[in-house]
Amino acid sequence: MITEDTVLLYEDESHIRSYQVLRSTWAEVGKQKQIPTYGHHVSVTLFGVVNVLDGDVLCMQSDTCNAEAFLSFLQKTLERYPENYIVMVLDNARIHHAKLIQPFLEENKERLYLMFLPPYSPHLNPIERLWKWMKESVIANRFHKNKNEIQKSIDSFLEGIKDCTEQVLQRIGCLPEMSKC
């Protein structure tokens, strides 16, 4: 049932952790950048989709990565695209096949189709490149005292790319040239 109103979304989950990661950076000779740490780690779980046709990104933060949270994300996705038929490409995680979501999928089969990638093929999912970009921007060479600070950094990143759809498309490999944004 693919029509001109069909959207092609690539879905995945990610965990943004407070691990202090040092990446390549400039520093004065003998003054390596140091990132403080409290010795504990917190994380934020994200569900996300990227529309490979227009660069639109939808993310939802969750306390858990389970079938209930995935069902909630599916509902949020349908709300985001109320007039569209959605083809969602995703991996074969257990939560994507859970019995809990089957009635919802049956009830919304006129609006939502799940297409599963082959096992062990994250390279086929463009949102993986969005996660990499986000992690480089949010956690590399930065310190977050708590989960709330990580959430603020994630929100800032998502707000920053909202109006940069061409840059999103370029980063995920769906647009050959990057425009300035």
SS3 17: strand
Domains observed in the chain: 6-171 (3.30.420.10)
Q: How far apart, in Å, are the Cα atoms of 178 and each of 43, 70, 86, 160, 164?
A: 31, 32, 27, 16, 10
Integer Cα distance of 82 and 15 in angstroms:
28
Closest alpha carbon to 46 in 70, 30, 80: 70
Integer Cα distance of 9 and 130 in angstroms:
13
SS3 97: helix
Q: How confident is the model at residue 45 (pLDDT cuts 50, 70, 90)?
A: very high
The model carries a pTM of 0.83
116 near 90, Cβ under 8 Å? Answer: yes
pLDDT > 70: what percent of the chain?
Answer: 83
Q: In one letter, which amino acid is 129?
A: R
Q: Taking residues 143-148, what's their average pLDDT?
A: 80
- Lowest model confidence (mean pLDDT) among 111-115, 126-130, 168-172, 174-178: 174-178
What is the 3 state secondary structure string of 111-132? CEEEEECCCCCHHHCCHHHHHH
Q: Residue 71 phi/psi, 5° resolution?
A: -60, -45
**Tell me, what's the pLDDT at 42?**
74
- How many Å is the maximal CA-CA distance in the chain? 62
- The 10s digit of each residue's pLDDT in 6-15 is 999 999 999 8
Q: For residues 22 and 108, which has the higher predicted lDDT (pLDDT)?
A: 108
pLDDT > 90: what percent of the chain?
Answer: 62
Integer Cα distance of 8 and 4 in angstroms:
11
Cα-trace Rg, the chain: 18
SS3 7: strand
- The 10s digit of each residue's pLDDT in 61-117 is 999 999 999 999 999 999 999 999 999 999 999 999 999 999 999 999 999 999 999
pLDDT for 36 beyond 70: no
Helices (H) and strands (E) in the chain, counts: 6, 5
Q: How far apart, in Å, are the Cα atoms of 173 and each of 125, 135, 180?
A: 10, 17, 16
pLDDT for 2 beyond 70: no
